[in-house]
């Protein structure tokens, strides 16, 4: 099978885009990626786009055809990929596989979501479609409630503290304050997190990622074509796994089997270990998820994620820089676009030209995108060399 490289990348400003539609956001992201790659639409052979629930959010289905139409990419094959909040990471994976197989040589992978055209309550109801309807959403559980249960159990089993969870948000906002594309580019304090509104005990408002509009896109090419482009970033490993949809059916509430399995696959393909990863993007939809992710990816022992955060090991100058551009908490979380956005931030770090956001010397990066409460996980490892 052939190797695959990313040669173009771009994402829109994340936030509440009252004056932009889903089609405008997705077209903008695609144009940014093509401009970055110095290519034109006629060069693209296939499109994969991640989108969770445009039918509920804006009343528009058939999103892949819409994206191809509005971007001037017809009549190439265009495919929508849905896996809740992991939709665009799986779109990326499908693009990688299509090139590895020899079917295509140059592909766009994208993600887009327009979430703010409905009320907050309706948005939360739509998001719970990613949970188990019979056992969770029908009795009033939200994802904040599900992750609160994980947090409570993690605190009970391992002594994780409220302050340690707050430090996750503080770190991500500190990084996001440097990112002009972030929805909330400002710093916060532990005290502000602890004093913010209670959402689902022990999670508070500033433990939670926001409702967001945005889009992201990358251009991928085969190894043969990559040689024609400056500074390609290589896909070293791609892993995907699943777990039970309902939280109560899992063996553990303090780990995600899907993450551990997907990571094992990706590490194996990349021939790397956790200690070989220089920069990390993890799915911090809620602060506890970042702590669990750090553990499940092998950056520290199980139960030590809170201490790992407290010791500043996830900081930009720490042992394992995590969410160096703000994470979901500060950048925002347009659910269908987040996975590609994470990959773009890894790509830009590995290029070594990310300005104030740059982590010096980064040669390898890992992105973890989670769907729902962990029923889907996608892990991608990228590198400057292969």
pLDDT of res. 386: 87
Chain centroid, CA 211 distance in Å: 14
CA–CA separation, 23 vs 191, rounded Å? 40
CA–CA separation, 289 vs 253, rounded Å? 11
The β-bridge partners of 193 are: none
CA–CA separation, 379 vs 258, rounded Å? 10
- Catalytic (active-site) positions: 85, 333
pTM of the shown model: 0.97
pLDDT of res. 120: 81
Beta-strand runs (E) in the chain: 4-11, 46-50, 78-81, 106-113, 198-200, 203-204, 214-222, 233-242, 279-281, 364-371, 376-383
pLDDT in tens, 132-152: 999 999 999 999 999 999 999
Tell me the pairing of strands 364-371 and 376-383.
antiparallel
Looking up tokens 């992710």, which residue turns up? Answer: 293
pLDDT of res. 121: 85
Positions in the chain short of pLDDT 70: none
The β-bridge partners of 241 are: 377
CA–CA separation, 241 vs 212, rounded Å? 26
CA–CA separation, 220 vs 266, rounded Å? 18
Contact status, residue 63 vs residue 111, Cβ threshold 8 Å: no
pLDDT of res. 51: 98
Contact status, residue 331 vs residue 78, Cβ threshold 8 Å: no
Sorted by where each starts, the structural domains of the chain and their CATH numbers stand as 4-119+212-233 (3.40.47.10), 130-209+235-383 (3.40.47.10)
- Which are the contacts of 263, defined by CB distance < 8 A and separation ≥ 6? 239, 296, 297, 298, 368, 377, 379
């Amino acid at each position: 099978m052939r190797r695959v490289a990313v040669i173009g990348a771009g994402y829109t400003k994340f936030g509440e885009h009252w004056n932009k539609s889903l089609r405008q956001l997705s077209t903008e992201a695609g144009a940014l990626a093509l401009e970055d790659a110095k290519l034109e639409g006629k060069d693209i052979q296939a499109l994969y786009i991640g989108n969770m629930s445009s039918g509920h959010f804006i009343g528009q289905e058939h999103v892949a055809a819409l994206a191809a139409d509005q971007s001037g990419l017809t009549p190439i094959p265009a495919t929508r990929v849905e896996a809740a909040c992991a939709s665009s990471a799986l779109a990326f994976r499908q693009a990688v596989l299509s090139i590895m197989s020899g079917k295509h040589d140059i592909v766009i992978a994208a993600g887009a979501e327009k979430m703010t055209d409905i009320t907050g309550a309706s948005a939360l109801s739509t998001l719970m479609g990613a949970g188990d309807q019979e056992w969770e959403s029908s009795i009033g559980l939200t994802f904040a409630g599900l992750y609160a249960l994980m947090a409570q159990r993690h605190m009970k089993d391992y002594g994780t503290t409220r302050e340690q969870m707050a430090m996750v948000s503080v770190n991500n906002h500190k990084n996001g304050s440097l990112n002009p594309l972030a929805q909330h580019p400002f710093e916060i304090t532990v005290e502000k997190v602890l004093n913010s509104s209670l959402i689902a005990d022990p999670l508070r408002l500033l433990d939670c990622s926001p409702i967001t509009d945005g889009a992201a896109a990358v251009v991928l090419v085969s190894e043969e074509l990559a040689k024609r482009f400056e500074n390609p970033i290589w896909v070293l490993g791609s892993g995907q796994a699943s777990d039970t949809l309902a939280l109560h059916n899992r063996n553990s509430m303090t780990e995600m089997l899907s993450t551990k399995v997907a990571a094992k696959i990706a590490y194996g393909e990349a021939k790397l270990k956790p200690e070989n990863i220089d920069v990390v993007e993890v799915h911090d939809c809620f602060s506890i998820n970042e702590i669990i992710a750090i553990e499940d990816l092998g950056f520290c022992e199980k139960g030590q994620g809170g201490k790992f955060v407290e010791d500043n090991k996830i900081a930009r100058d720490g042992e394992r820089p995590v969410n160096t551009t703000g994470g979901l908490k500060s950048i925002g979380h347009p659910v269908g676009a987040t996975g590609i956005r994470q990959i773009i931030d890894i790509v830009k770090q590995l290029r070594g030209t990310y300005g104030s956001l740059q982590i010096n010397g980064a040669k390898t990066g890992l992105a973890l995108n989670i769907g729902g409460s962990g029923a889907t996980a996608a892990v991608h490892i990228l590198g400057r060399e292969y």
